[in-house]
């Protein structure tokens, strides 16, 4: 009884307009559900730093990794709805995982409130420099001829890199062994060292290594070439249509976070993505920046639901599930 009263007091403490007006008066934690140095982490740091300047508070990055982001997203869903713990995620963590993981201890659509849509980037088909293929057709032939010599990195079932693999396998008829990592940051390190041979990885993670000549890129999973990497052909141009995947990102808060706080966070994210330096850094990584209208909480909520309706049957048809 006492506990219930205490909980009720705790909940109403966040509900008042005075609480929302004073917000934020201490640092805000952004939970990143993948490893430091990977694409989600980089997005959180670039956008979060600028949001923090706008909000007058520091944004602290907390990497809570494992199980394709489900551990970190679960932590956000169970956090106090006071605006001081929010989460960054993407198409994989906040849509596809809802279809793959049958035993999530949170409701992906019900327990998290969308704050703002963030940029989206395509995937690149990349290999270690040891793989002897000059173009995508040669790579596919090599993968078919050497199924036992090749393993590929992903950030777990349902991650962005795994969604890319599913599309790649379906379009090319290939199949290789998958090694799960806590994020594609460390996976890319292993790719450079040829511990793994292939990844279908977000451009923001792989492009810097491609530019440095440390890995090789064969194609971009988009209808059009990416302005940040105009020399890399699309998968269709390289001979394999039907591999079009973009990984969009977003910010979420626990259910029950006051709308005034959601709006303050949204406004800070909009300011961040209007900043020319932030735009330059993100676009250089191949990111496509959403408009302020697309970023609005209501528009983002509708988009996430539409993406869920689109991806659920695709995942079910592919028979990918974790019980
Ligand atoms: C990461 O930040 O490591 C990635 O977003 C992982 C992925 O989804 O492939």
* CATH number, residue 139: 3.40.190.10
- Split at pLDDT 50, 70, 90, the class of 2 is very low
Residue 156 pLDDT > 50 = yes
Please tell me whether residues 149 and 202 are part of one structural domain: yes
Mean pLDDT of the chain: 94
* Mean pLDDT across 102-126: 96
Q: What are the DSSP calls for 154-208, one per residue?
A: ESSTTSHHHHHHHHHHHHH----EEEE-S-HHHHHHHHHTTSS-EEEEEHHHHHH
- Split at pLDDT 50, 70, 90, the class of 323 is confident
pLDDT score, position 21? 84
Please tell me whether residues 101 and 127 are part of one structural domain: no
Three-state DSSP at 23 gives coil
34 CB within 6 A, ligand 1: yes
Please tell me whether residues 20 and 99 are part of one structural domain: yes
- Residue 230 counted as domain residue: no
Residue 77 pLDDT > 90 = yes
The sign one gets for the Cα dihedral 307, 151, 190, 237 is negative
160 CB within 6 A, ligand 1: yes
**CA–CA separation, 201 and 123 (whole Å):** 5
Token pair for residue 131?
A: 């793989």
Please tell me whether residues 193 and 261 are part of one structural domain: no
- Residue 293 counted as domain residue: yes
- Residue 242 counted as domain residue: no
156 CB within 6 A, ligand 1: no
pLDDT tens-digit map of 30-70: 999 999 999 999 999 999 999 999 999 999 999 999 999 99
How much distance in Å is there from the Cα of 94 to the middle of ligand 1?
12
Closest atom of ligand 1 relative to the 35 alpha carbon: 3
Rg (CA), the chain: 20
How much distance in Å is there from the Cα of 265 to the middle of ligand 1?
23
Token pair for residue 136?
A: 């995508």
Three-state DSSP at 59 gives strand
The sign one gets for the Cα dihedral 130, 232, 165, 238 is negative
Q: By percentage, how much of the chain surpasses pLDDT 90?
A: 89
pLDDT score, position 12? 53
Please tell me whether residues 114 and 141 are part of one structural domain: no
159 CB within 6 A, ligand 1: yes
Q: How many domains does the chain have?
A: 2
DSSP state of 94: I
- Residue 5 counted as domain residue: no
Please tell me whether residues 22 and 84 are part of one structural domain: yes
Residue that is last in its domain, among 173, 203, 220: 220
- Residue 32 counted as domain residue: yes
- Residue 53 counted as domain residue: yes
Please tell me whether residues 81 and 101 are part of one structural domain: yes
Token pair for residue 72?
A: 């970190």
Please tell me whether residues 126 and 181 are part of one structural domain: yes
Determine contact, residues 216/124, Cβ cutoff 8 Å: no
The sign one gets for the Cα dihedral 176, 152, 191, 233 is positive
How much distance in Å is there from the Cα of 161 to the middle of ligand 1?
7
pLDDT score, position 10? 53
Closest atom of ligand 1 relative to the 183 alpha carbon: 3
1-31 burial by CB neighbour count: b if 16+ within 10 A, else e? Answer: eeeeeeeeeeeeebeeeebbeebbeeebbbb
Range(s) of the domain holding residue 139: 122-220
Please tell me whether residues 139 and 183 are part of one structural domain: yes
- Residue 77 counted as domain residue: yes
CB under 8 A, 24+ apart: contacts of 50-56: 50/271, 50/272, 50/275, 50/278, 51/265, 51/268, 51/269, 51/271, 51/272, 52/28, 54/267, 54/268, 54/271, 54/272, 55/24, 55/28, 55/264, 55/265, 55/268, 56/24
* Mean pLDDT across 232-249: 97
185 CB within 6 A, ligand 1: yes
Residue that is last in its domain, among 174, 201, 220: 220
pLDDT tens-digit map of 159-191: 999 999 999 999 999 999 999 999 999 999 999
67 CB within 6 A, ligand 1: no
97 CB within 6 A, ligand 1: no
Which of 69, 157, 178, 184 for mutating ligand 1's site (highest number of atoms within 8 Å of CB)? 184
State the residue for tokens 């790579």.
139
Provide the CATH number for the domain around residue 106.
3.40.190.150
* Mean pLDDT across 225-231: 98
Please tell me whether residues 130 and 103 are part of one structural domain: no
- Residue 78 counted as domain residue: yes
Please tell me whether residues 257 and 115 are part of one structural domain: yes
State the residue for tokens 């040891």.
130
pLDDT tens-digit map of 133-154: 999 999 999 999 998 899 999 9
83 CB within 6 A, ligand 1: no
Among the residue ranges 11-20, 191-200, 210-219, the one predicted with the least confidence is 11-20
Residue that is last in its domain, among 205, 220, 235: 220
State the residue for tokens 């983002």.
300
Please tell me whether residues 33 and 89 are part of one structural domain: yes
Determine contact, residues 77/113, Cβ cutoff 8 Å: no
């Amino acid at each position: 009884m006492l506990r219930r009263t205490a909980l009720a007091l705790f909940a109403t403490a966040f509900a008042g307009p005075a609480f929302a007006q004073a917000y934020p008066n201490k640092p805000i934690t952004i939970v990143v559900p993948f490893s430091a140095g990977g694409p989600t982490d980089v997005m959180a740091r670039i956008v979060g730093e600028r949001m923090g300047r706008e909000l007058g508070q520091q944004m602290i990055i907390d990497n809570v990794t494992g199980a394709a982001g489900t551990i970190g997203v679960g932590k956000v869903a169970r956090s106090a709805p006071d605006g001081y713990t929010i989460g960054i995620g993407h198409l994989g963590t906040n849509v596809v995982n809802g279809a793959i993981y049958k035993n999530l201890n949170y409701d992906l659509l019900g327990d998290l409130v969308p704050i703002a849509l963030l940029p989206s980037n395509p995937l690149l088909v990349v290999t270690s420099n040891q793989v002897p293929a000059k173009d995508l057709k040669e790579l596919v032939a090599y993968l078919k001829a050497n199924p036992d010599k090749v393993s590929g990195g992903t950030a777990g079932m349902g991650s962005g890199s795994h969604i890319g693999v599913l599309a790649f396998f379906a379009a090319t008829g290939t199949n290789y062994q998958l090694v799960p990592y806590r994020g594609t940051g460390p996976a890319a390190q292993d790719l450079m060292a040829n511990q793994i041979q292939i990844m279908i990885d977000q451009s923001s993670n792989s492009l810097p290594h491609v530019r440095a000549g440390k890995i090789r890129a064969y194609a971009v999973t988009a209808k059009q070439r990416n302005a940040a990497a105009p020399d890399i052909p699309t998968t269709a141009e390289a001979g394999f249509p039907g591999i079009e995947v973009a990984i969009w990102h977003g910010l979420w808060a626990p259910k029950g976070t006051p709308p005034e706080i959601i709006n303050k966070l949204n406004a800070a994210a909009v300011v961040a993505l209007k900043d020319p330096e932030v735009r330059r850094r993100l676009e250089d990584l191949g990111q496509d920046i959403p408009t302020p209208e697309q970023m609005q909480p209501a528009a983002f909520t509708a988009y996430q639901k539409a993406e869920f309706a689109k991806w659920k049957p695709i995942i079910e048809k592919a028979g990918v599930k974790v019980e």
